[in-house]
Structure 1
């Protein structure tokens, strides 16, 4: 059996799910759902699909600056290394298609992200880490506010609602239960509906599997139910 036939056998099994998820997602989400497979690739450190995913995003008419902002803001979630290794493939597609993207300019106050964090999450992390030794309990929450929120939320390329949704999808991909619970609630408070979050998580099915998605949609549903009470 050749390498090509091995891959063909795999795709024969998996393509029906990919197509079913995309078809169902198209009935519940906007075209921005095409950003979700790219989020999964970056978060998992998988480079092979990124070229095709970038091409599909551009073909759908999604603003390339929006795509870049989605990728950039994954940095505080997955770290600099995984984001940096994804960027060359994106840049090659931009170059091949003669896509020019101007550098985004901050259009919010420097502390806009911190204000947003306070509105959506309060002081949860400060309380969680307050008794760490040697100043670590102060450093981590401050770094979280400054980098996770202030350094990214200042750019109006993405709304707070969209940022929160995409960050939640990244956390679901990483399977970090505590953060998924917190950000499911935060995403809902930012204006996402339960349906938007559930169907966005469903878009991850082909890339992270059923157990993580089922667990996550259950968490989202619980968060929505609690907020409605």
Structure 2
């Protein structure tokens, strides 16, 4: 970033003031450091901001995001972005963690087996979206994969709780754009878990410098739609 002070000083003055002062300290829109950096990390995955991700990860770790939490954000992103978009971020995180003396692999966080991942995934879906989800996996093989893979393999892991997992999912969807039906659904899932409308708008606000105004405004519209429903 320092070279931009030489090549683009006026831009850097305004960007850094906005992203690291005005947004962070906006009254009524603040988040605790760990939640804020978790949301930004997930948002950078969602918008494919790999270069900014490399700058953000050390800031996040210094602010208290643990290596386990960082890895859990990345692992869960695969379900919403696909491995084709996530692999560079996993590589970057491994490089940064190793350079900071973190021994890999980290302690395992899985709580399911290949035998019970479907059952526990269905329960996680029901915990977030309601008991009607207990039958949703029967609608077809992709719905079954959603239950056993997305929820059974990832949402059931330790390292992040369900509220945090739904929050980062909201960030993945908001940042990549074009997923407004799913974004509205997951806004409702967040609200069901206690991540209310005001909290989600604070999340969008803190991530706005990283994804810009159009996707941020779309996300706010989805939050409002979910709250009305």
Alignment partner, residue 56 of structure 2: 53
> 1:224 maps to which residue?
227
| Structure 1: gaps spanning 5 or more residues | 131-136
TM-score, normalised to structure 2, is 0.83
SS for the counterpart of 2:158 is: coil
Mapped partners of 2:60, 2:191: distance in 1: 25
The range that moved more, 141-150 or 110-119, is 110-119
Gaps of 5+ in 2: none
Question: 1:108-147 CA deviation, whole Å, 9 max, x = no partner?
Answer: 66332221213433349959xx9xxxxxx61211111122
- Are 2:108 and 1:104 equivalent residues in the alignment? yes
- Cα offset, 1:152, TM superposition: 0.3
CA distance in 1, matches of 2:165, 2:196: 14
**How do 1:1-229 residues align onto structure 2 when only pairs under 5 Å count?**
4=4, 5-19=6-20, 20-24=22-26, 28-32=30-34, 33-100=36-103, 102-107=106-111, 110=117, 111-121=119-129, 122-123=132-133, 138-175=140-177, 176-226=179-229
Instruction: Kindly provide the CA deviation profile for residues 62-119 of structure 1, in whole angstroms up to 9, marking residues without a partner as x.
Output: 2110111011101010000221111222122212211235232323663322212134
Distance 1:66 1:147, change over 3 A: same
The runs of 4+ residues in structure 1 deviating greater than 4 Å are 3-6, 123-127
Alignment RMSD, CA only?
2.6
The answer on whether the counterparts of 1:77 and 1:171 sit within 8 Å (CA) in structure 2 is yes
